[in-house]
Structure 1
Amino acid sequence: MKKLIKFSALSLLLLVAVAACSSNDEASSSGSGETSDSSAPSDKSGVTIGVESNFTSMDPHDTNDNQSYSAQSAMLEGLLGFDEDLNIVPVLAKDYSVNEDSTEFTFQLKEGITFHDDSPFNAEAVKANLDRLTDPDAQLRRSSLFELVKSTEVVDEYTVKVILEKPFGAMANNFAHPAAAMISPKSIENSEDIGQEPVGTGPFEFEEWQSGDHVTLVKNEDYREKGLPKTEQITFKVVPESGSRVAMLQTKEVDYVTSVSPSQVEDLDDKDGITIQNEPGLLVRYISMNTMKEPFDNPKVRQAMNYAIDKEAYAKVVYNGYATTLKSSIAPDTQHYSEQENTYSYDPEKAKELLSEAGYPDGFETTIWGGTSSIKQKMMEFYKQQLSQVGITLNVVPMEGGTLNDNIWGVENPEDAELELYNGGWSPSTADADWGMRPLFSENSFPPQAYNTAYYANEQVNELLQKGLQTADDEERAQYYAEAQEIIWKDAPWVFLAVPDMIYGSRDYVQGVDMLPSGVLDLKNAEIVSP
C-alpha cells in the first residue's frame, strides 16, 4: 500500500460524530466471523465483481457513471481506447491520422470484425454510431463529447473520415472515451433496446440484467483475439454496503470489489488470500450548489460553505487518509490542471463572517441529495456535522440511483429544479481538462443536457471553455483552462472537497482485472487461476 495515515484527535472525534450512519462501513474484516483460504474456485461461474450501486444504463452513448461503463466496456469497443497509463491506443481502428489543423480525423478500420448479432463492423457502422451521437433530437447524455463533429463520411468499406466544425487537438481523447463505443447498427435501428440489451464487438456478450441485483456477461466464443476472453463469464453483483461487499470477498461470494472502505484496508490487505490496491485517480469529490436558488445565488454563501468544511478532516474521516484535498476543479493527473493559491482552508469564523455579510447571520436550512452507499451517506453526515458549527442545518436525503437520476436529469427547465445541494463526483474519462470542466461548468451543460448540477453560468468561463475546445494549440489550451479554473475557484459553485484514491480488492486467484485511472475496469484479460 502507498500510505497509511493515523487519525488525529480531531479526526477521531469527527469519526464518532458520523459513525451512526456508517456502522457497516466501519466494520473490520474480522467482524464477519468467517475465515477463508486462497484456493481458486472453478472457472465455471467466471469472475464475480462486487459493486456499490445499481447500473443506470447499458447504452454507452447515454451513460453518466463509470460503473456502468465497466460492464459496457467488456461488451462494446470503440475506435480508440486508453491503456493503463492513459495513452491512446487503437482498438477497432487499425490506425488513424489527423490533418494539420485537427479538423479531420481519418480512421483505418480493422477488417473481418462482426458484432454479437453477426452484423459487420465497417465504416457504415461507425457512421451510424457517430450520426446517433451527434443527433440533437436523440438527447443523449454524452453527445456533448461530439458536438464539434460536423459530418462523418464513409471513404470506403474500412475507412471513415470525421470532419469537425472547428479545430480540436484533444478530439482523439474523446474517441477513446467509453462513450464512443460502437453499437450494432441493428440495435441503433431499434434504439429502445440499447439501454437494456447492448450489442457490441467485445470479448463478452450481454446475458442478463436484474436491476438492483446483478448484471451477467458471457464469453464471446468468436472474439477476434486468440486466447481471449480467459473466463466463461463476468458477473457484477450489486452490494451497496461496503461491509457486506468485503464479507463477500472474504467468503469468495465475490472475487473482486471495485470499492473498498478506506477504514478496512489495514485489516484486509495481504490477509486470507486478499490483496488491496490503491491508485491515484481522476475522480474529484464535491458538493454542487444550485446557484439559481437562494441562498446559493450569493457567492459569499458559497465561499462560506467552502470555509465551513474541513477538507483535511474530510480526507481522514471519510477516506482514512487515502485522498488529497482538492485544489482546483479538476484532479492533478488531468491534462492542463492548474493548482489554485487560495485553498479555502478550514476557517469556521471566516465562514460565519461571510454568511453574516450575505445576510444570513443565523445561518439557514438546506437539503442535500446523494447516493445510498455506506460511504456516500457517511460523507453527507460529515457535511451535516461540519455545517452545523456555522449555523447551517443540513437535511440529508439519500436516493437510489434511478430516483436520483430522475430527480436531477429528468428536469427540463432549470427554474423547475428542486435540487439545492448535490453530493457529487466526476471523473473525466478522456483525461483532458475539456471533459473535466465543460460538462460541469458550461452554461450549455445544465441538466438534462449534461452535468452542471450547480446551474453555474459565467460568460467568461463559457468563452474560455469554448476557446479551449476550438484550438489545436496545446499551449493555448493550457492557458484557457488555467484561467477558467481560477475563475471557477473564486466563484465557488462547488464545495471543493478531495481527490480520493481508487481502492479496490481482489482474491489472489484473480488476474487480469485492471482498474484504469478513469475508474473504468478493463476486463478483457480477466481470469481465475490456480495458486
Structure 2
Amino acid sequence: MKQPLRGTLLLLVFFVVFLSGCADAVGFLLPEKETEPERVTSYEITIPIEKVRTLNPVVSKDEDTYYLSRLLYDGLFTLDEDLAAEPLLVETFSYSEDSLTLTMTLKESILWQDGTPLSGNDVKFSIEAYQAAAASNLTLYNSHVEGVKSVRVTADKTVVVTFKDPNHAAKENFIFPILPSHLHRRPADLVKDIEGFIPVGTGLYRYEPGESGDKFSLKGNTYRESAPTNVLNVKVIPGKEEAVNLFTTGEINMTLLKTVNRETLVGTMEVDIIAFPSNEAEVLGFNSRSEAVRDPLVRQAIATAINNEALIESCYFNNGVLNDSLYFPGYLGIDSQKDAYPFDPEFAKKLLKKAEVGTLSLDIVVNQNDPSRVLGGQLIKGDLERIGINANLVELNWTEYVEALGKGNYDIYLGGFRFRDTYDLRPILHSSYAPVTGYSNTSLDVLLDKIQSGIDKEAKASLYRSAREILNTDLPYYTLLYKTYGIAVPTTFEGKVEPKFFDIYNGCESWSLEIYLDKEPG
C-alpha cells in the first residue's frame, strides 16, 4: 500500500525538477535585463585656447586672454545683456553737471586673490597702465581710455576721473580689467610684464599654473562670497575649431565655433551647439560720392531688392540673424532682429522709379578671399538685375580691395565689421572720422557724441532710436545680417551655457559633466 505514495513523490520531484529546468531555459532564452551604466558627476571642465602671447590683459590682443580675463578680473563696470553698463567693483558713482568728471566709490571688502584689499590706487594704476600701453598701440583697450585726462584718488575707496571732453565719458568704457598696484612699482613695469606674467585678480576664479606650459587651471577664488566649486582646466591646442574632435576622448569639454559651417565640423557626434549673436555684422557700404548711389532712394531700393533670408541660408548656413541696425541686436533693450527693408522687388522698382535715375549700372566690390561674401555678391547681383539694375561684381584680392575702398573706386562694397564691446560707432559714421563711404550728417554726429557721454541707459536708448531712424533713412550702410557664433558642448554637459560675444564663459560657475562608467567585468 505504500508503493503508490512513493510513486507520487517521485512524480512530484520530476515535475519540480522539470519545471525548474524550464524556468532556467526560459530565462536563458529571454534577453538580459539592461542596467543603467554607472554615472558620476565631474566638476572639472577642460576648455581649449590657442597659444597666447601673454595673460596680461593690459598688453594682450589675443582673443583668449580677453575672454579668460573676465573670469580672473573685474572691471569697474560690466555690461548687461543689452550692452548697457552696470556697476561691478563700483558701489556708487556720479557725474559732474558738465559730465567732465566721474566720481566712483569702490565696494568694501573686495580682496585681491592674495588677500590684499582693493583700493583706489589700483584703479588709478590700472588706467595709467592702459594709457601707457595705448601710447604704443599695445592694448585692446585704446579707445576705452583715450578720453581720460587724469585720475585722482581722493580717499582709499574713492576715485575721480577727469575727461578731455564729455563725449568720451561713457561708463561702458570702464569695463576693462582692474589690476593690483601692489605687485608692480609703476604702470610702465606692468606694461613690460609679458612672458612671466602671473594673473592676480578679484574675479570668480584664480589662476593656478600647470605642470607644463600648455596647461593651467582656474579654480574658485576663495576670497569671493560664492566661490565656484568647479575647476576649469585650460589646455593650449593648435586650433580651437578642431577641439570638437577631442570631445569623444574627453580631452576637451567645450569650445567656441565661429565658422559659418560649424555644423559640418560636428557631423554626427553627440554634441549640442548653443548659438548666440556675435559682434560681426555683414553689410553693404554705399559710396556717397558715387553718382549711381548718391540718392538715398536708390539705396533704399537696392536694400529692398535683396533677399536677406536667402543670403543667411545659402551663404552663412543659417548661422546669422536679421538686424535692422548696425548696432548689436537688441542694443539697449530695443528690439531690432528684423530687416529694415523687407524683401519686396516690386516695391524696389517703385522706389527706383521715384528716384528718376533711368537705367542704373554699378560696381559691387568684394574680397575674393571670402567665399561667403563672394557667393553673397553673386546672389545680390542677381537680385539687383531682377529689378533692372546692371550690377557688375568686382572680385579683388585683399590689398586691391582695401585700396579700392580707400580711393573710393566703387559704388557698393560688400564687407563687414567686428565691433568693439563698447559699440562706439563714430569711427565709421561720424563726419570727423572721415568714413570710407564719404557719408556725413551733422545731426547724426551730435547724437553719436551724446550716446558716448555720461548718461543713463534710458537717455542713451532715446538717442539711439533717433540715430537709428537717421541711419535707416540715409542708409550709408545696409546691414544684411549679424553672424552668430556657437559654443559646442557634449550632450552630457550640465549647467547654464549662456554665452555672449564679450563673455563666452558666462554661466561657467554652474558647469559640470556627467560621465558614464563602463560596467566592471564579472
Q: TM-score, normalised by structure 2?
A: 0.66
Of residues 122-131 and 78-87 in structure 1, the stretch that sits farther from structure 2 once superposed is 78-87
- What is the total number of aligned residue pairs between the two structures? 453
- Give the residue type in structure 2 aligned to 1:441: L
Alpha-carbon distance, 1:220 to partner: 5.7
Structure 1 CA distance for aligned equivalents of residues 466 and 392 of structure 2: 32
Separation in structure 1 between the aligned mates of residue 328 and residue 72 of structure 2, nearest angstrom = 29
Residue correspondence of structure 1 range 330-479 to structure 2 within 5 A: 330-335=327-332, 337=334, 343=341, 345=343, 347=345, 350=349, 361-364=360-363, 366-368=365-367, 377-389=370-382, 390=385, 391-395=391-395, 397=397, 421=413, 423-426=415-418, 429-430=421-422, 435=423, 437-444=425-432, 456-470=439-453, 472=455, 476-479=459-462
How much identity, in percent, do the aligned residues show?
16
RMSD: 5.2
Residues of 2 paired with 1:346 and 1:196: CA distance? 59
User: Whole-Å Cα distance in 2 between the matches of residues 274 and 108 of structure 1?
Assistant: 42
Change (3 A) 1:199 1:305: farther
Superposition deviation, residue 107 in structure 1: 2.4
**Is 1:287 aligned with 2:283?**
yes
Shifted more, 460-469 versus 258-267: the winner is 258-267
Segments of 5+ residues of structure 1 without an aligned counterpart are 1-36, 371-376, 447-451
1:121-147 CA-to-partner distances (Å, cap 9, x unmatched) read 432221122234457745555343445
Residue 374 of structure 1: aligned partner: none
Conserved? CA contact 1:204–1:229, under 8 Å: no
Judge conservation of contact 1:149–1:164 (CA < 8 Å) in 2: yes
Residue matched to 1:24? none
In the alignment, structure 1 residue 69 sits paired with structure 2 residue 66: yes
The Cα of 1:65 is off from its aligned counterpart by: 8.5
* Corresponding residue number in structure 2 for 1:126: 123
Aligned-partner Cα distance in 2 for 1:110–1:307? 55
2:257 alignment partner AA:
S
Q: Assess if the C-alpha contact under 8 Å between 1:149 and 1:163 holds in 2.
A: yes
Which residue is equivalent to 2:239?
239
1:507 to 482, 487, 490: 490
Quick one: which of 474, 481, 496 aligns to 2:464? 481
1:311 aligns with 2:308: yes
One-letter amino acid of the structure 2 residue matched with residue 525 of structure 1: E
Letter of the 1:235 counterpart: K
User: Rg bigger for which structure?
Assistant: 2
In structure 1, the partner of 2:256 is: 258
Q: CA–CA distance in 2 between the matches of 1:251 and 1:425?
A: 37
Q: What is the aligned partner in structure 2 of residue 517 from structure 1?
A: 500
Secondary structure of the residue aligned to 1:525 is: helix
CA distance in 2, matches of 1:282, 1:309: 22
Cα deviation, residue 313, structure 1 = 0.8
Residue 494 of structure 1, aligned match among 477, 480, 483: 477
In the aligned structure 2, how far is the partner of 1:108 from the partner of 1:60?
A: 21
**Cα distance in 2, alignment partners of residues 57 and 308 from structure 1:** 48
Equivalent residue, structure 2, for 1:17? none
Q: Which amino acid aligns with 2:68?
A: A
Aligned mates of 1:418, 1:519 — CA distance in 2: 35
Shift in alpha-carbon separation, 1:148–1:189, aligned structure 2, 3 A: closer
* Matched-pair contact (CA < 8 Å) for 1:288–1:454: no
Change beyond 3 A, Cα 1:246–1:313: farther
Match of 2:10 in 1: none
| Contact 1:59–1:196 (Cα < 8 Å) also in 2 | no
User: SS of 2:425's equivalent?
Assistant: helix
Report if the CA contact (8 A) 1:98-1:105 is conserved: yes
1:410-456: per-residue Cα shift (whole Å, max 9, x none)? x9xx96899995632445635xxxx253354234557xxxxx66565
TM-score when normalising by structure 1: 0.65
User: 2:43 touches 2:230 (CA, 8 Å); kept in 1?
Assistant: no
| Contact 1:509–1:530 (Cα < 8 Å) also in 2 | yes
